[in-house]
Amino acid sequence: MIYLDYAATTPMSPEAIHVYAETAGSYYANTSSLHDPGTDASDLINLARVELARMLSCQKDGIYFTGGGSDGNFLALTSLARGNREKGNHILTSPMEHSSVMNTLSFLENEGFEVTVVPVDSYGQITEEALRQSIKDNTILATISHGNSEIGITQNLKMIGNILKEHGIMFHSDCVQTFGKLPVQAEEMNLDALTVSAHKIHGPKGMGAVYISPQLSIKPLLTGVTHERGFRQGTVNTPGVISFLAAASNQWNHMIEWNTHIDDLISQFLSLTSGLVQMVVERTASTLPHFLPIRLEGMEGQYAMLELNRRKIAVSTGSACKAGQQEPSKALMAIGRTADQAHELVRITLGRETTREEITTLAKALQELAERFYEQTGS
């Protein structure tokens, strides 16, 4: 099978698997236990906080380990909103957010918070004008993703962060898709909080981290929690944390080589498919390097995905779906595509294991698929 769905998840790296096994065998004690093995495990976790904080250019005391990106988004947003409610109840977001962010904001709306979705332009970007127009006197928090998970559009977090800082508004970003692929520098981007995940960068599933500036007030939903300084209940997954760190370090240290490899594959794909006139490539200058969101005009994205799967090529439609239950891409609709066009999305995402031979096979499969489809439909 040719795997081209790296935005959904990645295979664990050999280094991450090795570190997980070694840590599970040697540092199995509960980090909250007061005996020496517990202290050793706790010390190891704290070293991981220091190293992750270095990669994110943030303060180590603001690092909390979580159960992944969705878990982290929920914990961060609810804790920040509840911890600053006396200052206001208005939250800003964008139409490009992951479902875990939108679901959390719906939860907060039921708790009495008001949410405004800042519109994006035809390139998927939040503009300075749109952001300023959305800010109210009672705005306390903004959550804007660094990279969209459907079509890979990235936002200018530094510009957004500067404006929000002017107004004293807390700034959280879902950086799950960008960490390890683009620089994520919390202090330079004026980020007060962010979320990252392990399994997008060849680490274990069910493992992630949240950064929240120690200067901020937070109020987690649950009280009486002892783990992770009261931020999240449950025994800390020590082997998961250290395996995450091993994967993150490897990805972070080889970011330049990764980008060079991916750029070469993207160029190859675009060259091989240049004659496929019915294909629309939904990439812009701000698209994540490894994202290839495409549309074959008139062809349902799910049909294309299933046909490619039949040819042993794994891609995505950009949304979690089952056969016959696909929803149009919200990100494509946000940048002006029709619902029918948004239904055509096929999300191809590349990784470090992707080869030029696989790209050649993909291009050939798309050409054959298009020829047959348009011949049958008379398009």
What does the block give as tokens for 166?
């002017």
**Is residue 314 classed as helix, strand or coil in its secondary structure?**
strand
The residue annotated as part of the active site, out of 268, 321, 327, 361, is: 321
The three-state secondary structure class of 319 is coil
Amino acid at 362: L
Closest CA to 98 of 147, 131, 142: 147
Among the listed residues 56, 137, 136, 134, the one whose alpha carbon sits nearest the alpha carbon of residue 95: 134
User: Contact, 265 vs 356, CB < 8 A?
Assistant: yes
| Strand, helix or coil for residue 318 | coil
Pairing of strands 193-197, 139-143: unpaired
Quick check: is 58 catalytic? no
Say if residues 152 and 335 touch (Cβ distance below 8 Å).
no
Dist. CA 98–CA 112, nearest whole Å: 22
Q: DSSP readout, 69-137?
A: HHHHHHHHHHHHHHHTGGG--EEEE-TT--HHHHHHHHHHHHTT-EEEE----TTSPPPHHHHHHH--T
Q: Which helix (H) or strand (E) holds 54?
A: helix 36-56
Residue 131's φ and ψ, nearest 5 degrees, are -65, -50
Q: What share of the chain is helix, strand, coil (3-state, %, to 5)?
A: 45, 15, 40
Distance (Å, whole) CA 159 – CA 128: 8
Token code pair at residue 157: 């977090």
Element (DSSP H or E) covering residue 303: helix 301-310
Q: Which residues are catalytic?
A: 321
